[in-house]
């Protein structure tokens, strides 16, 4: 687990999520540009975090006034990338170590799920890049 520094607001959001849902958040990123809070949830806690028919997400959204996104944590970069693009069907993940010392990930999704994977204005790609850099030091994420 990388050394992650949370702001006071992000720590409050984690407490709120855990109090409301019983799920354990490993990380929280507030993204003011997209007016969203991204939670990285402990493996196996997604059901708790979302709640029946998304009720917990809706409650968090009402309380914070922000969009809520949850991603299940995984120990490997490949698994974590797959989780980042749920509900899109990820066919394959390729991690490439570039000659300049950077690394990038290619995520191959089912063609009909490409729009879902990319998200409105590329917001899911932005989220994937942010989290992959934070957890696995991967600089770029491309959806094919």
CATH label, 84-143, candidates 3.30.590.10, 3.20.20.70, 1.10.20.140, 3.30.300.20? 3.30.300.20
Helix (H, G, I), strand (E, B) or coil at 100: coil
The token pair at 77 is 């970069």
The model's pLDDT over 51-108, given as tens digits with 9 standing for 90+, comes to: 999 999 999 999 999 999 999 999 999 999 999 999 999 999 999 999 999 999 999 9
Which residue, chain included where needed, has tokens 């120990």? 75
Boundaries of CATH 3.30.300.20 in the chain? Answer: 8-72, 84-143
| Fold topology of 8-72 | GMP Synthetase; Chain A, domain 3 (3.30.300)
* Under 8 Å between Cβ of 94 and 86: no
- What value does the mean pLDDT take over residues 1-26? 92
Q: Rounded distance, CA 65 to CA 27, Å? A: 19
Which two tokens mark 104? 């990038």
pTM of the model: 0.94
Kindly report the average pLDDT of the chain as a whole number: 95
Spatial CA neighbour of 81 closest among 136, 3, 34: 136
- 66 burial type by CB count under 10 A (0-12 exposed, 13-18 middle, 19+ buried): middle
């Amino acid at each position: 687990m990388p050394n992650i520094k949370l702001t006071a607001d992000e720590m409050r959001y984690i407490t709120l999520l855990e109090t409301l849902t019983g799920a354990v958040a490993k990380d929280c990123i507030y993204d003011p540009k997209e007016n969203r809070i991204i939670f990285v949830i402990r493996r196996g806690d997604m059901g708790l975090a979302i709640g029946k028919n998304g009720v917990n997400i809706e409650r968090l959204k009402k309380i914070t006034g922000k969009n809520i996104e949850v991603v299940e944590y995984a120990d490997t970069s490949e698994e974590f990338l797959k989780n980042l693009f749920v509900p899109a069907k990820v066919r394959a993940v390729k991690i490439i170590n570039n000659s300049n010392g950077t690394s990038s990930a290619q995520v191959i999704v089912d063609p009909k799920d490409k729009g879902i994977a990319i998200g409105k204005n590329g917001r899911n790609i932005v989220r994937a890049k942010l989290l992959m850099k934070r957890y696995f030091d991967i600089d770029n994420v491309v959806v094919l």
